[in-house]
Structure formats: structure tokens, C-alpha cells
Amino acid sequence: EAGVAQSPRYKIIEKRQSVAFWCNPISGHATLYWYQQILGQGPKLLIQFQNNGVVDDSQLPKDRFSAERLKGVDSTLKIQPAKLEDSAVYLCASSSRDDRGKGYTFGSGTRLTVV
């Protein structure tokens, strides 16, 4: 079973620029999560999708962050415009209905540096 795929692995941008990250979940997994992990902190949930619908985006800074999962499979997370404090690793994870309560597997992440 292929794992969660993310790209790019690394991205360096200047503040006020825009950036997009891509995630392809494990095949058949209906739930997809985007987490932000700032250096020295634990991952923080930004948005949770169930198929192509948003379940939880309470911690997503909606003035600059957006995410979509149009066909209920892969997802993109966008930041526009980026701020210095957005420098972090952006982690994607997925889970199936059978995995409920069992934790989930993360992708390798995208490390964003905003200069």
C-alpha cells in the first residue's frame, strides 16, 4: 500500500508571495488532514476533509490560507500572501472509516521557509 504522497519536499519563498502544496492520500481513504508544525511545537490541525467536504477548519487562517479537495482524492493547500510566521512543515495525513480511533499515517511533509 502506497503511503501519503506530498510535494514539494522543500519550498523557499519571499514574504507576500504565494505558495501551494499538494497531497495525495492513501488510496480509498476518505478523510484527509492538513497539519502545520512549527519548529519546536507539535503538529496543529489546519483543516480536515471528509471526501470533498470540510469537517473542521476552525484553526485555518482563512484570510491567507485556503484548501480544496475537489474530487475527494488529492488536495491542495495554498497560502497567499505568505508571512514570515508561516515558516513550518506542512504535513498531510489520511485515514479510512475503518481507521476511526486508530491514529493515522503522515506523509513526508513540505518544509516551507518564508524569507
Residues within the interface to another protein (CB under 8 A):
31, 33, 40-45, 48, 50, 55-56, 89, 91, 95, 99-109
Minimum gap (Å) between residue 42 Cβ and another protein: 4
Minimum gap (Å) between residue 66 Cβ and another protein: 19
Reading the block at residue 8, the C-alpha cell is: 514539494
Minimum gap (Å) between residue 41 Cβ and another protein: 5
Nearer to another protein among residue 17 and residue 22 (C-beta)? 22
What distances in angstroms separate CA 96 from CA 26, 101, 107, one per listed residue?
9, 10, 15
Q: Nearest 5°: CA angle at 109, between 70 and 92?
A: 35
Nearer to another protein among residue 2 and residue 41 (C-beta)? 41
Q: Are strands 10-13 and 110-114 parallel, antiparallel or unpaired?
A: parallel
